[in-house]
Amino acid sequence: MFSKTRKKIVISIMLVIFIVINVMLVVVYTYSYISLKKDNQELLKRYVGIYSLENLPSEGVSDGLPKDTIKGEADADLLLDDSMPDNLLRANSDDGDVIYKLSSFYSVSFSADDEVITVDEGRNSIYSRSDILETAREILKAGRKTGTISNFLYQVEQKDSYTLVAFMDRTLMNDSMKRLLINVLLGGIVSAIVLLFFAMFLARIIVKPLEENDENQRQFMSDIEHELKTPISIISANAELVHRELGDSKWLDNIQYENERMSKLVKELLEVSRAESIESTKEMADLSKIVEQEILPFEGVAFEQGLVINADITPGVMIFGNKCQLAKLISILLNNSIEHQEGGESIDISFSRDYKNAFFTIKNKADEIPEEKAKHLFERFYRVDEAREDDGGHYGLGLAIANAICQAHSGVIKVNSENGYVVFTVSLPVEKQ
């Protein structure tokens, strides 16, 4: 029982952590991507702003004017002076300038007749002139002023007498974002593994007081058996002796009646405790045979009340469990259906199985159980009609015992009430065939 609680706590903790980590990952990655993209757009916009046919960088430019004659002030902004030391470069340029000069830009200018005027192949370009031209024409064909294509961020600008198509290589940015994503994922996986062990440790700490409380409760029930069993037996024996000496007496009869009720209550409380115990001995059992054997003695009880038990049982259903507890489970449900039968002539029982579970269903005619009461039906000492006088020595423990037996066998018990019938359904895992 507590192992399931621990698993639920661990799953809950890991689910929360998983959601938090993923949200953080999405936020960080999205913010980084948008921020880098915005910076690149600013760099490309700067390149487009200083570009002119009269003032072009000399390296990488073809078509238009000869390379050795196309020099101007733009060279200082677009190209790095390889002879300038790094520390001098940093001293004379802010970070934006350095990033700008290290970036790879490409451009193609078109005349009004779509004729190529110039092609800027960039510094140390890894792309051929034909690749740059093809990319520029695809950008023009798309008909958008800004956007992305392949690994390029592009901008189309209409100048005085020509159209400029400029684009910036984002290969390094994309690779950096991929590495960031991989590193974050790896870090998240490692963190999740560490947090899993922490969650398991935390779950044990959380559940430990519950386990201790449950153990104390079991010890309390054991003490009840030891402390009350003897006085109950003594009261019964003394009442019998007094009855022999004095004869019939309503007071003695009342003492004996209440003593028997107390004895039954103690017995049922102990049965609840035993049913909830995870230490019960289990073995392979033929549940079909157990159901048949439990139905047999109740047929006579049902007949005395004018009822017939109709049973449809699938033979040979095997289950790993405690035979005594399983028999008690079937007995409780049968007794409950017979005692709460309201009209009708029969109690219908079906027992079948599928690939994973065995299903025991018992149906009897009875008053409908409100939904708000049905959910408390398997709690200790709970009775649907508390105002009804109990003359059968019932304390609302039968269904609590049945529920405890189901849980001890990893099963589920449910109740459904509609159309004047109450249906109890038990689902238990079976041995696969």
**Domain annotation covers residue 269:** no
CA 166 – CA 40 distance, rounded (Å) = 12
Highest average pLDDT, of 80-84, 298-302, 376-380, comes from 298-302
- Which conformational region is residue 285 in: left (phi greater than 0), alpha (psi within -120 to 50 degrees), or beta? beta
Average pLDDT over residues 82-93: 35
166 and 288 both lie in a single domain: no
Instruction: Give residue 360's pLDDT.
Output: 93
| pLDDT over threshold 60, residue 196 | yes
CA–CA dist 244, 233 (Å, integer): 17
Whether residue 219 is contained in a domain is answered as no
pTM: 0.51
pLDDT at 396: 66
14 and 139 housed in the same domain: yes
Nearest Cα residue to 339 out of 399, 400, 285, 428:
399
Identify whether 226 is part of a domain: no
Q: What is the pLDDT of residue 146?
A: 86
Residue appearing with tokens 């960031």 = 180
Tell me what the mean pLDDT of segment 231-236 comes to: 81
Q: Which of 151, 175, 199 is the last residue of a domain?
A: 175
Q: Is 165 helix (H, G, I), strand (E, B) or coil?
A: strand
Secondary structure of residue 351 in the 3-state scheme = strand
Q: How confident is the model at residue 226 (pLDDT cuts 50, 70, 90)?
A: low
Per the CB < 8 A criterion, the answer to whether 79 and 104 are in contact is no
Q: Which residues pair with 109 in a beta bridge?
A: 118, 164
Task: Over range 402-416, report the average pLDDT.
Answer: 87
**Token pair for residue 233?**
């037996």
Q: Residues near 98 by Cβ (< 8 Å), separated by ≥ 6?
A: 89, 90
| Mean pLDDT for the stretch of residues 252-260 | 81
Q: Which comes out higher in pLDDT, residue 331 or 99?
A: 331
Joined together, the tokens standing for residue 246 give 């004095």
- DSSP letter at 267 equals H
d(C-alpha 283, C-alpha 363), whole Å: 29
Domain range for residue 379?
Answer: 281-429
User: In whole angstroms, what is the distance from residue 259 CA to residue 291 CA?
Assistant: 33
> What pLDDT, on a 0 to 100 scale, did the predictor assign at position 58?
44
In a domain? residue 317: yes
Say yes or no: 28 and 170 in one domain: yes
Q: Is 306 in the same domain as 169?
A: no
Last residue within a domain, chosen from 126, 153, 175: 175
pLDDT of residue 232 exceeding 70: yes
Query: Do 148 and 287 fall within a single domain?
Result: no
Q: Above pLDDT 70, what percent of the chain?
A: 79
Give pLDDT, residue 387.
Answer: 47
In the 8-state DSSP scheme, what is residue 171?
H
Q: What are phi and psi of 290, to 5 degrees?
A: -60, -45
Q: Is residue 203 part of a domain?
A: no
Quickly state the pLDDT bin for 225 (edges 50, 70, 90). low
pLDDT at position 351, please? Answer: 92
Clarify whether residues 29 and 161 are in a common domain. yes
Same domain, 6 and 154: yes
Instruction: Look over the chain and give the mean of its residue pLDDT values, rounded to a whole number.
Output: 77
CA dist 329 and 280 (Å) reads: 14
Q: Evaluate if residue 299 carries a pLDDT over 80.
A: yes
Q: What is the pLDDT of residues 384-396, one digit of tens each?
A: 655 444 545 555 6
Give tens-digit pLDDT for 89-127.
Answer: 333 345 556 666 667 788 888 888 888 888 887 766 678
Q: How many CB atoms lie within 10 A of CB 66?
A: 9
Output 349 or 103, whichever has higher pLDDT: 349
> Whose structure tokens read 């196309």?
70
332: domain CATH number is 3.30.565.10
Total domain count, the chain: 2
Question: Mean pLDDT throughout 238-256?
Answer: 81
Retrieve residue 408's tokens. 């001890």
Is the pLDDT at 73 greater than 60? The verdict is no
**pLDDT single digits (tens) 137-184:** 888 888 888 888 888 888 888 887 888 888 888 777 778 788 878 887
Radius of gyration of the chain (CA): 42
Q: What is the pLDDT of residue 426?
A: 92
Amino acid at 265: L
Q: Final residue of a domain: which of 175, 198, 213?
A: 175
Q: Does 253 map to a domain? A: no
Report yes or no: 5 and 210 within 8 Å, Cβ to Cβ: yes
Nearest-angstrom CA–CA distance, 144 and 151: 17
Measure the CA–CA gap between 351 and 363, rounded to whole angstroms. 12
Residues β-bridged to residue 331 = none
Closest by CA to 295, choosing from 370, 201, 362, 230, is 362
Q: Residue 154 falls within a domain, yes or no?
A: yes
Top-confidence residue, 280 or 308 = 308
Indicate if the pLDDT at residue 285 is higher than 50: yes
Assigned domain for 305 exists: yes
Return d(Cα 429, Cα 358) in angstroms, integer: 6
Please state the rounded mean pLDDT for residues 265-282. Answer: 68
